[in-house]
Amino acid sequence: MKVVGRIGYWLAAITILAAILVSLDYTPVQALLVSLIFCPCALALEFFMPKAGKPMDKVYLSLAVLTSVVVLLIFLHYCVWFEFKPDGHPMDRKDIPPMMINPAFLGLILTALSVGDYFWAKWLSKRFRAQDRTVTFFSDRQKTTVRVADIAYIESNDTEVRLVMLDGESYRNKTGISQWENLLGDGFLRIHRSYLVNTATAKPISSDTVAVGDVHLPVSRKYRDAVQSAFTK
């Protein structure tokens, strides 16, 4: 899903940018080709900028990316398009809108694309992190691996812990519930000394009860405020 989400972002970004470029007297096909130039350059800026430690390195990187965009634009206008004007003459320098070689405008486009992709990728990573993760443990002396997103809740019975899955299957384990809480991290909430629930599948019924499917689990006074806060965001 994260890959599909990233592809969707770039398709949407290219479409929006192409629509903007059409207002600069580009044809839809030309606008699409020009928009495609910005993708690898914006990705390069996004990838290498965090690796540029010194401020001057960031400046040099920005200048290099801007220069690359300008060179690619000139190449596209003069070497790729073989379109002729009504008077029979090939396109020349004046056919490049001045704004398209304006460093401020090009920098704005590159920044918008790279920053947008960065935050979108960050959101996707957080949104689908649990779905991609697996956890391995021993249950009844057998090594078992399950998807984190498939865990409905964890119940502690002092001497052992029971992992209950969304499909109703359960696994016994000797790892303490506090250790499970640290291991699973975000997406799981402690509601009682004996219960840890998957917030994606749980919903509050009352101030002292949380439902996970058909199962109702108690919320202790100690965790009541945390539960209320988690489900009212």
Residue extents of the structural domains in the chain: 2-127, 134-230
Please state whether the predicted TM-score (pTM) of the whole model is above 0.75: no
Looking at residue 110, what is its pLDDT?
A: 93
Residue carrying structure tokens 């960031």: 58
Structural contact between residues 204 and 227, judged by C-beta atoms closer than 8 angstroms:
yes
CA angle 13, 9, 115 (to 5 degrees): 75
| pLDDT at residue 79 is higher than 70 | yes
Looking at residue 185, what is its pLDDT?
A: 83
| pLDDT at residue 87 is higher than 60 | no
Instruction: Note the residue count of the chain.
Output: 233
- pLDDT tens-digit map of 32-62: 989 999 999 999 988 888 877 788 988 999 9
| pLDDT at residue 26 is higher than 80 | yes
| pLDDT at residue 81 is higher than 90 | no
Mean pLDDT along residues 168-193 = 90
Contacts of 210 (CB under 8 A, 6+ apart): 191, 197, 202, 203, 204, 216, 217, 219, 227
Looking at residue 231, what is its pLDDT?
A: 83
Looking at residue 94, what is its pLDDT?
A: 44
The fold adopted by the segment(s) 134-230 is OB fold (Dihydrolipoamide Acetyltransferase, E2P) (2.40.50)
| Beta-carbon-side half-sphere exposure of residue 163 (alpha carbons within 13 Å) | 25
| pLDDT at residue 216 is higher than 80 | yes
What's the per-residue H, E or C state across the chain?
Answer: CHHHHHHHHHHHHHHHHHHHHHCCCCCHHHHHHHHHHHHHHHHHHHHHHHHCCCHHHHHHHHHHHHHHHHHHHHHHHHHHCCCECCCCCECCHHHCCHHHHCHHHHHHHHHHHHHHHHHHHHHHHHHCHHHHCEEEEEECCEEEEEEHHHEEEEEECCCCEEEEECCCCEEEECCCHHHHHHHHCCCEEEEECCEEEECCCEEEEECCEEEECCEEEECCHHHHHHHHHHCCC
| pLDDT at residue 147 is higher than 70 | yes
| pLDDT at residue 92 is higher than 80 | no
Looking at residue 89, what is its pLDDT?
A: 52
| pLDDT at residue 145 is higher than 50 | yes
Mean pLDDT along residues 172-190 = 89
167 vs 51 pLDDT, higher one: 167
Q: Minimum mean pLDDT among 66-70, 95-99, 135-139: which range?
A: 95-99
